[in-house]
Amino acid sequence: MVPPHDELRKWMEANVPRTDSKSCIEIGCFPGRYLAVLGTLGYELHGIDLTPRVNEIGQWLHSQGYKTGSFSHGNFLEYNSPRSYDLVCSFGFIEHFTNWEEVLQKHIGMVAPGGMLVIETPNFRGFLQNLLHRFLDKENYKRHYIPAMNPNRWKEIAEAAGFEVKYHGWFGQFEFWSDSAPPGFFGKAALKVLSWCMPFLKKRKPGTASLSPYCGIIAVRKHS
């Protein structure tokens, strides 16, 4: 499980209520680091992922003392959920699809009345984060669909589906990561300049579209 100081974990723990009887499913659940956080909050854990190793997650979570349900191996867009859930979530998932609105709508369709939708993606769309990832993290940047990183649009979609949005926006103090070191003198020099600027950037107010490393939404389906 991710450590207590992890920004996404802190965001989840601050916004997701504890329970002793509710269920949740994570879409794209492997390797289960954040599903374990929901386990500590008392949820019965379910998941779906394309990796054949998805069953290992359920076994591991059960061995850690968490309540577990079903873990499915398959393509989410072809998945027909047999039930709805009190919490439906994904972390760093929808931004890998050009048809991300369809993917988000499929999340929404699995939320039970009174249930919660929790979505997070990295923020490569804000001005500074976009600039850094575009030039210093090119291969990783290409694997993401940047227009999907839009919590304002998520809010519109959720509200149109009958949800009350409790939170939408950007969170976390500034940080930057890349899959590999940028090549060439310019890339190395740019990273050195960024390291010098890092203390100043970390002191800036968190939760801005330009600087924050994450964006998310938390919404509750209204009872019909």
Main-chain dihedrals φ then ψ at residue 163, nearest 5 degrees: -105, 150
- Whether 139 maps to a domain, the answer reads no
Give the max Cα distance, the chain.
Answer: 59
- Whether 196 maps to a domain, the answer reads no
Q: What share of the chain is helix, strand, coil (3-state, %, to 5)?
A: 40, 25, 35
Can you give the residue range of the structural domain that contains 55?
7-124+144-175+206-221
Give me the number of domains the chain comprises.
1
Task: Express each pLDDT in 71-126 by its tens digit.
Answer: 999 999 999 998 999 999 999 999 999 999 999 999 999 999 999 999 999 999 99
Q: Distance from CA of residue 89 to its chain's centroid?
A: 7
Rounded Cα distance, 12 and 16, in Å: 6
- Whether 189 maps to a domain, the answer reads no
Rounded Cα distance, 206 and 172, in Å: 5
- Whether 97 maps to a domain, the answer reads yes
- Whether 197 maps to a domain, the answer reads no
- Whether 198 maps to a domain, the answer reads no
- Whether 14 maps to a domain, the answer reads yes
- Whether 158 maps to a domain, the answer reads yes
State the pLDDT at residue 185: 62
What is the CATH classification number for the domain harbouring 103? 3.40.50.150
pLDDT along the chain (224 residues), means of 10: 93 96 97 96 97 92 95 94 96 97 97 97 94 87 95 98 97 82 67 70 80 96 82
The two structure tokens encoding residue 219: 């919404």
State the pLDDT at residue 149: 97
State the pLDDT at residue 142: 92
